[in-house]
Structure formats: C-alpha cells, structure tokens
Amino acid sequence: MRENEIRVIIKSNNVILEFPKCEILTSAFIGKNGYTKNKEEGDGCTPIGKFSLGLMLGTHSNILNEKYNYIKINNNMYWIDDSNSKYYNRLVDVTKVKRDWNSAEHLADYPVQYEYLIEIKINELNNPNKGSAIFLHCSNGESTQGCIAINNKVMKKIVENINENTKINIILQNK
C-alpha cells in the first residue's frame, strides 16, 4: 500500500522524503557521495531501491508505537561493519558475543543522529562488502555515510506511525 510507504525522492538539486500515512513531506540528507544501485561497504553512497525496514532503536526509554518493536540504545551496542566478521551488518551486544571484528559503529557515540533510528534492510543476507548500518535516522545537518537523515521531530512522527508492512522506496527522479 503506497500510503504506508516511505518514499525518498532524489532529484538533481535536492532530496525529499514523503510518508503519506502521516502527511509528511520534508527535505532529507543522503550519502556524502550520492547514490548507487550497487552498494559497497564504505562507498559513502545511499542505495537506490525498495527495501523492508528492520530494527528500530533510539535513545528514549520508550516510544508511542505498539505496532513495532523498539530497542533502547545502550553502551554495549555495536553495529558490525567488518565484512570478515560473522556478525557483519548485525547489531551486537558486546557483553554477549565473542569479538571477531576490527570495525564497528558504536551506536551510543551518535546521540543526535540515533535519537531515533530505523534499519533499512539493504543487505538482508549480510553478504560481505555489500553494505552495512544503513539507517533512516535523525539529521545533524550534514550528509551521511549512506544513510538517510531527517529532522528529529519528523523522524519521531515516522517512528510512531510505521508498522511491520511499512517499506522504504529510495528513487532517483531525473527531473
């Protein structure tokens, strides 16, 4: 259902995010190196395509959404971006797994951007070097490493209104 689809429209001079379900139309930031149809780890590009949403996390104790599971970020949480790790492109709690990675994103280090965060499942099979830690998250006013970033008040509204059927469609519009 299109009303329950988050659309990110990349135009030549700007990026727009719309979510008709809750009447959202806002500007957005994408990867510092633009966009790609062939995502590679560390390329700084936002992937083009239609994707499912995954985990939802944030810095708040709870949120107003009973239809989607929410996890509060703690100091033990890392998202693994080392392609050689068996945990590649996964959230781990370092107190519960044996470390086998050389590179990971410590989620607690980004309290502004990750006030609210939703995983975009661009690499559902966790294939090595095909992209990790791609999220829809709050903006710090700058381009991203491949994520999509928007104003935190708008992000809060999205977090409160998504469900397990919500998809994100990142499209290039050449007009």
Domains of the chain (ranges, CATH numbers)? 2-172 (2.40.440.10)
Query: How many helical (H) and strand (E) elements, i.e. helices and strands, does the chain have?
Result: 1, 14
pLDDT score recorded for residue 12: 85
pTM of the model: 0.96
Structure-token pair, residue 132: 């990790």
Confidence of residue 75 (pLDDT cuts 50, 70, 90): very high
Sign of CA dihedral 43, 173, 52, 141: positive
Average pLDDT, stretch 82-101?
Answer: 98
